[in-house]
Amino acid sequence: MAVVHWLALDFRLADALYGLQGGEWVLKDHVLLQDWLHRGGRTLSQWMGGGVILALLASLPSTPMRPWRRPLLFLFLAVAGSTLVVSTLKHLVSMECPWDLARYGGEWPYVGLLKWRPGGMPDTACFPAGHASAGYAWLALYFFLAATLPRLRWLGLATGLGLGLVFGITQQLRGAHFLSHDLWTLMLCWTISTLLASWLLPQGGQPRHRSTAPTFTLETLPDA
């Protein structure tokens, strides 16, 4: 974060994106970004979350799904907790989106994080990046798969990073967020998953060794 601030990467990137769009956020209401990647991306994450809830409920009775109970509980809490924390911070910390700033055709001056805000400025909820959290929350898949199907854990990491990057870049192109907003969201989601994994999963969600078989890992998980 210090490097982003020192190099003014927020403004450098936003200036470039704003300039490439001809000095206005012409992509703000573009159907691909607004409807497919913003609204559609949020819906995708919600459906994925619904799938986790159904799987968790299926693991509650004494069924073949029971060994998955604790990993599924972790996945549910990590995804829900990440999005909840980011959403809560958005409503507690007032900070403008790029499109709100006079520098980018808006009305208000830029006020840094936790800086004094002049009177008359509205309480805007643009920090941290909420839409990116719908993607980065799925970084929890890395720990979930490391505890259940270790050889697939990197696919889980790639899924969370990929969704977060796509959702974050979508909002930056629309003028909704700075780069640092996404990086804060990434850091929060990873931290929450790491803490919950250390609490709920054996070895903090890390595989015992590369040759560990998935069935052995699952059978040794204690009940929630």
User: What pTM value is reported for the model?
Assistant: 0.90
Q: Is residue 15 part of a domain?
A: no
pLDDT tens profile 162-198: 999 999 999 999 999 999 999 999 999 999 999 999 9
In a domain, 134, yes or no: yes
Residues 6 or more apart in contact with residue 216 via CB below 8 angstroms? none
Q: Which domain holds residue 73?
A: 28-109+124-219
Residue 64 lies inside a defined structural domain of this protein = yes
How confident is the model over 108-166, as pLDDT tens digits?
A: 999 999 899 988 899 999 999 999 999 999 999 999 999 999 999 999 999 999 999 99
DSSP labels for 153-207? HHHHHHHHHHHHHHHHHHHHHHTS--HHHHHHHHHHHHHHHHHHHHHHSGGGG--
Is the distance from CB of 147 to CB of 217 less than 8 angstroms?
yes
The answer to whether position 204 is within a domain reads yes
Contact at 8 Å (CB) between 134 and 41? Answer: yes
Tell whether 17 is covered by a domain.
no
Q: Which residue has the tokens 């505890």?
A: 147
Asked if residue 114 is part of any domain, the answer here is no
Domain presence at residue 136: yes
The count of domains in the chain is 1
